A = this chain, B = another copy of it.
Amino acid sequence: MTALPIAVDAMGGDRAPKEIVRGARQAMEAGIPVVLVGRRGDLPIVDGIEVIDASEVIEMHDDPAQGVRRKKDSSLVRAAEAVRDGRAAAMVSAGNTGATMASALLRMGRIKGVSRPAIATPGGTPTVLLDAGANAECQPEWLVQFAQMGTVFARHRFAIDEPKIGLLSIGEESSKGNTLVKETHERLMSAPGVRFVGNVEGRDIMTSAVDVVVTDGFTGNVVLKTLEGGLQAIASALLGAFASAPEYKEPADALLPALLPLYETLDPDTYGGAMLLGVDGVCIISHGSSGARAIVNAIRVGREMVDADLVGKLRAAVTRD
């Protein structure tokens, strides 16, 4: 049996279509079959890559729900339909995140039993953070499912047998936090399939204290963007410091080989994007600024998650009240 291709939204992202197509071509050269989805006329012809034609584009600033409703022939909607219809094994997009979620949710549907899909992201380190922004307001029982889905994801994405799950709060004590956290803490204590180690704080996210950090999508999104901004601020402060006097140029150059692997570790492109857990198909959400390297990694992750039957394992893992 030939493996189904990964559907890549060629129109989504700040650097689309050029960098997206470049990434797709590299993936294909690495042996992963892909199919591009987009306006055929706008795409460079790439030998051996099929194109699913889609005449519309949901722009970055479009309202997600409206975009999906009105632009039925958009690359995002068509990519999700390709997965639904068995023409593709997974979808990858660096476009409008909200519209990516909406397309996947409306076209693929939810996994039976899942209350709400959540975005899981490596968040700058291999620690998985979810929900990173799919649900601005959450119920405790959703967070329990996020913990169950995060467990399965960390197991197959990062090969951690029994991932440690932490609940993001403002103190380790179970008495600390807001109502959502306190109620979720209670439920996680007895949640099936979850190795719950208790509350964690913001400072634990970039450590190995836990493998999965569970939170609502508002807090998760703020945390993710705060880290992103913080790392960017430091990177530019470092570059500024190194450029502040001519005598720093030589030692800075000498340190470059030491700094590059660090940069690689912290660069979100290394991790190939986030994954929407809970929809009935594999959907990888890449950063809007994704270049070819991020897209290749996203395609690779999509392929791995399909091969691991992640969706089937998520279906088996979530419990309902």
For A169, what are the chain B residues with a Cβ–Cβ distance below 8 Å?
222
Q: Contacts A207-B229, A251-B250 given; indicate if A238 touches B262 (C-beta within 8 A).
A: yes
Contacts of A247 in B (CB 8 A): 254
Q: Give Cα distance in the complex from A219 to B255, angstroms.
A: 37
A-B contact pairs, 12 of them (CB 8 A): A177-B218, A181-B218, A202-B227, A202-B228, A206-B232, A207-B229, A219-B222, A227-B227, A234-B266, A237-B262, A242-B258, A248-B254
Q: List A residues 111-154 near B (Cβ within 8 Å).
A: 124-125, 133, 136-137
0/1 string, A207-240, CB within 8 A of B gives 1: 1000000010111011111111111111001100
From A241, A248, A261, name the one whose CB has the most chain B CB atoms within 10 angstroms.
A241
Q: Are A170 and B258 closer than 8 Å at their CB atoms? A: no
CB <8 Å contact, B178 and A218: yes
Q: Is there a chain B Cβ closer than 8 Å to A201's Cβ?
A: yes
User: Roughly how many angstroms separate A218 CA and B216 CA in the complex, as a whole number?
Assistant: 12
- Which of A176, A230, A252, A259 has most chain B Cβ within 10 Å? A230
Main secondary structure of the interface of A (DSSP, over half): helix
Bitwise interface map of A from 296 to 307 toward B, beta carbon under 8 Å scored 1, else 0: 000000000000
**A residues bordering B, Cβ < 8 Å?**
124-125, 133, 136-137, 168-170, 176-179, 181, 201-207, 215, 217-219, 221-234, 237-238, 241-242, 244-245, 247-248, 250-252, 254-255, 258-259, 261-262, 265-266
**Contact across chains for B241 and A170 when beta carbons are under 8 A apart:** no
In the assembled complex, the CB of A169 is this many whole angstroms from the nearest CB of chain B, namely 8
> A69 CA to B81 CA in the complex, in Å?
62
The distance in angstroms between the C-alpha atoms of A261 and B207, with both chains bound, is 26
Interchain CB contact under 8 A, A251 and B255:
yes
> A227 vs B233: C-alpha distance in the bound complex, in angstroms?
11
Please, which residues of chain B bring their CB within 8 A of the CB of A230? 124, 205-206, 226-227, 230-231
4 A-B pairs with least C-beta separation:
A203-B229, A202-B225, A251-B251, A202-B226
A124 / chain B contacts, CB cutoff of 8 Å? 230
Most buried by B among A206, A226, A254: A226
**Further 13 A-B residue pairs, CB within 8 A, beyond A133-B170, A248-B254:** A137-B178, A169-B222, A177-B218, A202-B223, A202-B228, A222-B223, A223-B223, A223-B226, A226-B227, A227-B230, A230-B230, A241-B255, A241-B261
For residue A191, give the distance in angstroms from its CB to the closest CB of chain B.
Answer: 22
Question: Which residues from B are CB-within-8-Å of A248?
Answer: 254-255, 258
Taking CB atoms, residues of chain B closer than 8 Å to A255 are 241-242, 248, 251-252, 255
User: Hey, which chain B residues are within 8 Å of A262, CB to CB?
Assistant: 237-238, 241
